[in-house]
Amino acid sequence: MKLRSTCIALSALLATSCAGLLEPAAAVVSGEKITVDEVQAAVDDFEASQEFQRLAQQGDAPAIVRDFEQSYITTLIRRAVLSPKADELGVEVSSEEVNDQLEQIKGEFRSESEFQEAL
């Protein structure tokens, strides 16, 4: 009876632990998965955006989605690689530094609307 209870508990533990392993990965960085579901959720949000609608009217919608998907995955991979390294090195960026950089980038555009369109 004890052995059976132990086997049942072990099976439940393994099933719970392996559930994450069975989820499809778009990429794996340092043992951490970027899941297909995570990427698909971002793609779904993008496809629902006005920007996608505008771009789709100008060109090949499936190609636009593929480009977005690849760019999004690349961004997540960079973040997964760089964030731990930045933490290790004690790199911190303040909100003020981010805002200053945004203002500098905005200054490269002729107007706020041109900047918003580029975003």
In a domain, 79, yes or no: yes
pLDDT band at 119 (very low <50, low <70, confident <90, very high): confident
CA–CA separation, 69 and 75 (whole Å): 10
Beta strands in the chain (DSSP E): 25-29, 32-35
Query: What is the domain extent for residue 29?
Result: 25-93
CA distances from 68 to 2, 24, 45, 47 (A): 54, 19, 11, 10
Asked whether residue 44 is assigned to any structural domain, the reply reads yes
pTM: 0.63
Please give the tally of structural domains in the chain: 1
Residue 78 resides in a domain: yes
Looking at the predicted structure, is the pLDDT value of residue 6 above 80?
Answer: no
φ/ψ of 90, rounded to 5, equals 75, 25
The answer to whether residue 43 sits within a structural domain is yes
Q: What pLDDT was estimated at residue 115?
A: 83
Domain-embedded: residue 1: no
Residue 85 falls inside a structural domain: yes
Q: Which amino acid is at 38?
A: E
pLDDT tens for 49-66 read 988 999 999 989 999 999
